Amino acid sequence: MVIATARLPAGTPAVVAVVCDGVSTTPDAATASLAAAEAGAGVLVRAISSGKDPAEASQIAMAAAAAAVASLATGTGAGAPSTTYVAAVVTTTAVTVAWVGDSRAYWLAGTDPAQSARLTDDDSWAEQQVASGELSEAEAYADPRAHTITRWLGADADEIRPHVVTFTPAAPGAVLVCSDGVWNYVPAASALAAAVPQARSAPLDAARELVRISLNAGGADNITAVLVPFPAQPS
């Protein structure tokens, strides 16, 4: 996980948050996640500071993250180190999210949890089944294959076509960027917002609370939670 700050050419602030979750069935997964997070965040900050639109900068950054992970492979790349990737760029006017895999970003509304929303769609077996109409969401996530990802960063990955979305909040709130070790226990955006009403005013305390909730619920997977207040603050 990497958090960094940048400034748009006009001088307005931007906050960058990147979360990567190494694929446990591949070697050196932790190394892969760190390489992707550091490369992605570094390029994202530089691209935004140089005047790139956050959406364009997000695509450039993910390409850099993908190259960093691919460089870790030896031999043919089969079974190479792999990771998921999700990045958020929070400015004073909008939130831009880019991802591949099943790490997620959420909008947590500051006043009404019901107005919260999930900003990403997982690249996973479960989401594939739900999208095709084969299974309901409850049925898909009850299956042992639910968290099997269908896209990732790694030398053995298909061509990287990042998902990129821009969201313009109507009121203050916070952006949550997290691994499946968090959302697996509290998947609904409204429930996440209700669990941490202090997300905008005390983001670090709120992130610690989400980690505590995940650990108490079982903590069976990597747990990473990053909260960024919206609008981005000058500090």
How many helices (H) and strands (E) in the chain? 7, 11
Q: Rounded to whole angstroms, how far apart are CA atoms 213 and 225? A: 11
Q: Which of 130, 124, 126, 121 is nearest to 164 (CA)?
A: 121
Tokens, residue 90? 């929070």
DSSP 63: H
What was the pLDDT predicted at 15? Answer: 93
Which tens digit of pLDDT belongs to each residue from 59-70? 999 999 999 999
Pairing of strands 13-19, 85-90: antiparallel
- The amino acid that residue 46 corresponds to is R
225: three-class secondary structure by DSSP: strand
Burial of residue 187 (number of CB atoms within 10 Å: 0-12, 13-18, 19+): middle
What was the pLDDT predicted at 5? Answer: 77
Domains of the chain: 2-230 (3.60.40.10)
Q: What proportion of the chain, given as a percentage, has pLDDT over 70? A: 97
Mean pLDDT of 109-138: 94
What was the pLDDT predicted at 23? Answer: 94
Does residue 8 contact residue 231 with C-beta atoms inside 8 Å? no
Q: What proportion of the chain, given as a percentage, has pLDDT over 90? A: 83
Does 217 have pLDDT greater than 80? yes
| Whether the bond into 231 is cis, omega within 30 of 0 | yes
Tokens, residue 11? 């001088």
Which tens digit of pLDDT belongs to each residue from 81-95? 999 999 999 999 999
CA angle 199, 62, 141 (to 5 degrees): 60
State the pTM of this model: 0.95
Mean pLDDT of 111-133: 95
Q: Rounded to whole angstroms, how far apart are CA atoms 27 and 4? A: 28
Does 78 have pLDDT greater than 80? no
3-state secondary structure 74-130: CCCCCCCCEECEEEEEECCCCEEEEEECCCEEEEEECCCHHHCEECCCCCEHHHHHH
Mean pLDDT of 20-42: 95
Q: What are phi and psi of 202, to 5 degrees?
A: -140, 70
What was the pLDDT predicted at 235? Answer: 64
What was the pLDDT predicted at 10? Answer: 77
What pLDDT band is residue 17 in, cutting at 50, 70 and 90?
Answer: very high
Which tens digit of pLDDT belongs to each residue from 34-77? 999 999 999 999 999 999 999 999 999 999 999 999 999 986 65
- The amino acid that residue 47 corresponds to is A
Does residue 144 contact residue 96 with C-beta atoms inside 8 Å? no
Q: What are phi and psi of 160, to 5 degrees?
A: -80, 115
Mean pLDDT of 116-144: 94
Chain CA centroid to CA 94, Å: 16
